[in-house]
């Protein structure tokens, strides 16, 4: 596993060396859907070659870094750029380990690129009255197979709008998630079925 961190000396994000299970520090993960044009995502190669800032997907790295830092975490993991996909053995190993990487994360931030903050909840609103619930329930994030493990594996998942506004967590949004996915409430709470 390799993690991202803010390399302040070089004013950029950098990857750690390959970490074994015993040396992995606390970290956050980003759950997201890839941009419609995959070429817009920041890759492992882009980070290695210094091209990351030139891509639209860089904004997601900045978002995750800011959220991780706000929770006292130096390291974070994002699937698009922390896996060296040039080597099939590395990619295969990552695909097998991904569930546990989400499970072991201290925080998981779900970035919903198609949910606008203009419809975000106010602190005192009931979830059933939120004007943004339709956009949340129909988010592309809920239609992707990969995000299923990203929803269920972590201890908690915090959802954010495209603008980075907090929408709630898996527990507070359980009814809306159930309506969108059909996943039983107990499974969303981590209870074995």
Round to whole Å and give the CA distance between 69 and 72: 5
**Residue 125 predicted with pLDDT over 60:** no
What percent of the chain is predicted at pLDDT more than 90?
A: 68
Of 57, 48, 56, whose CA–CA distance to 78 is shortest? 57
Those residues whose C-beta lies under 8 Å from the C-beta of residue 88, and which sit 6 or more positions away, are none
Per-residue model confidence (pLDDT) at position 91: 84
Number of compact structural domains in the chain: 1
In a domain, 83, yes or no: yes
In a domain, 193, yes or no: no
- H helices of the chain, in order, are 44-49, 58-70, 79-82, 88-104, 133-137, 146-152, 174-181, 185-188
Q: Which residues pair with residue 147 across a beta bridge?
A: none
In a domain, 20, yes or no: yes
Contact between residue 2 and residue 15 where contact means Cβ atoms under 8 Å apart: yes
Round to whole Å and give the CA distance between 36 and 162: 15
For residue 139, the enclosing domain spans 4-188
Cα separation of the two ends of the chain: 30
In a domain, 176, yes or no: yes
**135-163 pLDDT per residue, tens:** 999 999 999 988 999 999 999 999 999 99
In a domain, 141, yes or no: yes
In a domain, 103, yes or no: yes
In a domain, 99, yes or no: yes
DSSP-derived 3-state class of residue 90: helix
**53-71 pLDDT per residue, tens:** 999 999 999 999 999 999 9
Per-residue model confidence (pLDDT) at position 121: 53
């Amino acid at each position: 596993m390799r993690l991202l961190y803010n390399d302040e000396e070089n004013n950029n994000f950098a990857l750690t060396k390959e970490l074994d299970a015993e040396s992995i520090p606390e970290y956050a993960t980003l759950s997201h859907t890839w941009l419609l044009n995959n070429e817009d995502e920041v890759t492992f190669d882009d980070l290695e070659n210094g091209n990351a800032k030139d891509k639209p997907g860089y904004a997601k790295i900045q978002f995750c870094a800011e959220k991780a830092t706000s929770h006292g975490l130096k390291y974070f993991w994002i699937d698009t750029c922390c896996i060296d996909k040039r080597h099939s053995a590395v990619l295969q190993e990552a695909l097998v380990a991904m569930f546990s990487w989400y499970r072991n994360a201290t925080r998981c931030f779900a970035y919903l690129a198609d949910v606008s903050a203009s419809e975000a909840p106010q602190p005192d609103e009931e979830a059933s009255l939120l004007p943004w619930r339709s956009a949340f329930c129909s988010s592309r994030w809920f239609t992707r197979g990969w995000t299923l493990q990203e929803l269920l594996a972590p201890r908690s998942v915090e959802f954010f709008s495209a603008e980075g506004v907090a929408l709630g967590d898996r527990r507070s949004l359980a009814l809306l998630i159930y309506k969108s996915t059909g996943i039983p409430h107990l499974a969303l709470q981590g209870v074995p079925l």
